[in-house]
Amino acid sequence: MSSVTSPNPPGALRKGPGIASALRPTSMRWILRFFGSSIGKKYVMAVTGLLLVGFLVAHLAGNLLLYADESGGKFKAYAEGLHDLGPLLWAAELGLIGLFGLHVFYALQTLRDNRAARQSRYAVSASRGAKTLASATMPITGAIVLLFVIVHLVHFRLDDAFKGDDPAGLVKSTLASPLAAAIYLVGVGALTLHLSHAIQSALQTLGASHPNFNPVREKLGLGLAVLLGLGFASFPVYALIAWGGGNS
Amino acid sequence: MSAASPTAVQGAASPTGAAGTKQGLKLVLKVWRQGARGAPGQFETHELQNVSTDMSFLEMLDVLNEGLIREGKDPVAFEHDCREGICGSCGFVINGQAHGPQKETTVCQLHMRSFRSGETLVIEPFRATAFPILKDLVVDRSAFDRIVAAGGYVSVNTGSAPDANAILIPKDNAERAFDAAACIGCGACVAACPNGSAMLFVGAKVSHLAALPQGQSERDHRALDMVAAMDKEGFGDCSNHLECVASCPKGIAGTNIAQLNREFAKASLRSGSR
Ligand code: SF4
Ligand code: FES
């Protein structure tokens, strides 16, 4: 029985132009299509976001050396170790800027898309309890973190004294001012709220979603966000209590 | 914005009603009225007396409309068909919640016993750029049809019906497919999403057919083309609030969105070498 053979070549059954049919052999158009699509944008945000979380873990681990000794010698050794990397450090920093830039760029794109997709508001707005303070304020907390990072870089990375004899001293004298401590607490607070949604959300976007482990994924994301938040917040708090007045 | 003068409509004080001597509900309805696509709209206030708690929400609107027609006024337009919660025609927003307050329930299956006497109910159409309002509570959801036409099907040769069970499907796959196939295409997910995203709907369609042997040959094209159609219609990007899941009358799970993402990424990678 040959009646099952279709007179049409395979694929001809598909109706409509379909983007896929526009692909040429060995074409790389999929890259453009992927990164221009709604899902591709979310992938970029998720991957860059998770890599930045990885950086935060390393950053916090390094900062904790501030507590290692009174003199700040361990922290200084760590800072010098980083500077000694030379071009490698530059490459790493360029990478970080790239990740951050991509994350912000795609955040602005999705923000624009989402605003356009939902122009009119409901007269009564009522959540069904799924959206959270963190998920609803992602663009705001993200913007606060962006501003905070700029201030933070000016304070330390761009201050030549940081490459000098006493980087720990610069940290102490900077954070000991109540205004600076307040800025750091706000920045870290916004970061923590951002991450409390972001980490588990990024994993869901990357496809890590199953009824068996979704509750664990959500708790792990929240737990890591809180740990990072407490860790980073400890510096301005400690600065106010232990270092406050002395150096300011 | 001049709200039309409030009308008081006598509800279905059915003498044979099961409510018996029980007094029905007194409700204040604020209903969105809009003459046509793009026309300005406003809320119109109506009072209903003695509404039977046994009525569905749509039956309550029928009562309102009968009263409006008797008064020579324009009845409130809303969509409905099966009134059994299976067709996906009905749907609007009650007090900020798509399909109203009851979990996993369409407005046609939502009963007035879910409300208290004296309540004010604000009734609005689904609001999303991709779902333009046509009249009152009726929105144009043909964007969903175009997404499905882009790939939400399997191609089969027509002819005599194939043998049942000619293709064996493992029970787990059948159940996963059926869970996703429960989507009735009502659009509440889009209405509830702060981003106006359709990813729960598209995720349900893609996951449904990806779980079945019949869906395999067109699997990659389906994911690519349906996502392209979704983006073209102007739906937003998912940011995992998952208000869609909480609002879905059929309990479609958020895992379908993650699967959509995986299917799209895999299909994109594979399409590059073609
Ligand atoms: S996923 Fe749920 S809310 Fe969305 S269209 Fe399907 S049934 Fe309706
Ligand atoms: S009218 Fe068919 S689902 Fe409500």
The pLDDT score that the predictor gives to residue A192 is 98
**pLDDT at res. A29:** 80
pLDDT band, very low/low/confident/very high, at B60 (cuts 50, 70, 90): very high
CA A84 to chain centre: 27
Mutate to test the interface with A, among B268, B270, B273 (most CBs of A within 10 A): B268
H/E element, B25 = strand B25-34
- For residue B88, how far is its CA from the centre of ligand 2 (angstroms)? 5
Above 80 in pLDDT, residue A17? Answer: no
State yes or no: pLDDT of B35 exceeds 80.
yes
pLDDT over 90 (residue B190): yes
Structure tokens that stand for A138 in this block: 């992602």
Question: Any idea where the domains of chain B sit in the sequence?
Answer: 8-133, 142-272
Residue B273 in this model has a pLDDT that exceeds 80 = no
Neighbours of B243 (CB within 10 A): 26
Minimum Cα–Cα distance from A39: chain B residue: B261
CA dihedral B227, B228, B233, B236 (to 10 degrees): 50
CA distance A103 to A49: 7
Closest CA to A177 of A167, A165, A189, A185: A185
Could you tell me if B200 lies within 8 Å of chain A, comparing CB atoms? Answer: no
Fold of B8-133: Ubiquitin-like (UB roll) (3.10.20)
Longest dimension (CA), chain B: 73
Do residue B236 and residue A114 have CB atoms under 8 angstroms apart? Answer: yes
**What gap in Å lies between CA A183 and CA A152, rounded to an integer?**
9
- Residue B237 and residue A18: Cβ atoms within 8 Å? no
pLDDT average, residue stretch A164-185: 90
pLDDT at B50 over 50: yes
pTM for this prediction: 0.89
Residue B13 half-sphere exposure, CB side, CA atoms within 13 Å?
Answer: 12
- Residue among A129, A215, A193 nearest B192 (CA): A129
pLDDT tens for residues B128-166? 999 999 999 999 999 999 999 999 999 988 888 878 888
- Mean of the pLDDT values across residues B30-54? 97
Query: Which tens digit of pLDDT belongs to each residue from B7-29?
Result: 555 544 444 444 445 679 999 99
Contact A42 B261 (CB under 8 A): yes
> Is the CB–ligand 2 distance for residue B182 below 6 Å?
no
Residue B214 has pLDDT above 70, yes or no: yes
Find the mean pLDDT for residues A67-93: 92
Residue with tokens 């300011």: A248
Q: Which CATH architecture has domain B142-272?
A: Orthogonal Bundle (1.10)
Of residues B144 and A168, the one with the higher pLDDT is B144
Whole-number pLDDT of residue A20 = 52
- Tell me which residue of B183, B96, B80, B188 sits closest to B138, measured CA to CA: B80
Handedness of CA A43, A219, A95, A106 (dihedral sign): positive
User: Distance between CA atoms of A175 and A184, rounded to whole angstroms?
Assistant: 8
Is residue B5 exposed (0-12), middle (13-18) or buried (19+ Cβ within 10 Å)? Answer: exposed
What is the C-alpha to C-alpha distance for residues B172 and B260, in angstroms, rounded to an integer? 19
Which residue among B148, B186, B197 is best mutated to probe the pocket of ligand 1, counting the most ligand atoms within 8 A of its Cβ? Answer: B186
3-state secondary structure of B64: helix
Residue in A closest to B269 by C-alpha: A30
CB-based pocket (< 6 A), ligand 1: B 183-189, 200-201, 204, 248-250, 252
Q: Residue B194 and residue A26: Cβ atoms within 8 Å? A: no
Give B68's Cβ-side CA count (13 Å radius).
20
More confident position, B122 or A24? B122
Question: Residue B238 in contact with residue B195, Cβ under 8 Å?
Answer: yes
Share the mean pLDDT of chain B. Answer: 92
ipTM comes to: 0.87
Q: Tell whether B120 is within 8 A of chain A (Cβ).
A: no
Domain edges within chain A: 38-116+136-242
Q: How far is A236 from chain B, CA to nearest CA, in Å? A: 32
Q: How many CB atoms lie within 10 A of CB B22?
A: 9
Return d(Cα B274, Cα B265) in angstroms, integer: 15
Interface of A with B in 9-68 (CB under 8 A): 10-11, 13-16, 18-20, 23, 25-28, 30-31, 33-34, 37-43
- Which of 60-119 (A) contact B at CB < 8 A? 110, 113-114, 116-119
Q: What are the pLDDT digits (tens) for A180-214? A: 999 999 999 999 999 999 999 999 999 999 999 99
Nearest to A194 by CA among A244, A232, A241, A237: A232
Query: What are the backbone dihedrals phi and psi of residue A198, each rounded to the nearest 5 degrees, phi first?
Result: -65, -45
Kindly report each contact of residues B216-221 with a partner whose C-beta sits within 8 Å and lies 24 or more positions away, as own/partner: B217/A10, B217/B155, B218/A14, B218/B151, B218/B154, B218/B155, B219/B263, B219/B267, B220/A20, B220/B266, B220/B267, B220/B270, B220/B271, B221/A11, B221/A14, B221/A18, B221/A20, B221/B151, B221/B267
Backbone torsions φ then ψ of B138, nearest 5 degrees = -95, 125
Q: Is A125 touching B (CB cutoff 8 A)?
A: yes
CB contact under 8 A, A128 and B228: no
Q: Looking at residue A109, what is its pLDDT?
A: 95
B86: pLDDT strictly greater than 70: yes
B10 strand-pairing partners: B49
**Alpha carbon of B185: minimum distance to chain A alpha carbons (Å):** 18
In B, which residues are within 8 Å of A123 by CB distance? 30, 32, 43, 122, 124
pLDDT grade for A2, boundaries at 50, 70 and 90: very low
Average pLDDT of span A100-125: 95
